[in-house]
Amino acid sequence: DVKVTQSSRYLVKRTGEKVFLECVQDMDHENMFWYRQDPGLGLRLIYFSYDVKMKEKGDIPEGYSVSREKKERFSLILESASTNQTSMYLCASSLPGYGYTFGSGTRLTVV
């Protein structure tokens, strides 16, 4: 089975901190995605990548950046964390034409 591993299950950060969320997949998937999920707002796409060093903005990229230096790793960066970035962050990966496999999620609280 494909495994998508997110580095932290729970994270508490202070306002203004730079935050790194790591995601690693072990099945050579080309596509990787970062979503946030908030009650009543569903899944919202932050950034995605279809190849190493490639990145594209999703629907809500403001305040975030990403890095994909290796095929298996896709990192989400909160440049200066704010309280409105408190959320569940979900990483996913896939092959073209197939559904996503999600990581277990990181629940981030910014205080």
Nearer to other proteins, 41 or 82 (CB): 41
Nearer to other proteins, 104 or 109 (CB): 104
- Kindly state whether residue 94 participates in binding other proteins, applying the rule CB under 8 A: yes
Size of the site for other proteins (CB under 8 A): 20
In the complex, what is the shortest distance from the CB of residue 98 to other proteins, in angstroms, rounded to a whole number?
8
Q: Are strands 87-94 and 101-102 parallel, antiparallel or unpaired?
A: antiparallel
- Kindly state whether residue 104 participates in binding other proteins, applying the rule CB under 8 A: yes
Q: Compose the 11-50 pattern: x for residues touching other proteins by CB under 8 A, - for all others.
A: -------------------xx-x--------xx-x--x-x
DSSP per position, the chain? ---EEES-SEEEE-TT--EEE-EEESS--SEEEEEEEETTTEEEEEEEESSTT--EE-S--TTEEEEEEETTEEEEEESS--GGG-EEEEEEEE-TTS--EE---EEEEE-
Residues that bind other proteins (CB under 8 A): 30-31, 33, 42-43, 45, 48, 50, 90, 94, 96-105
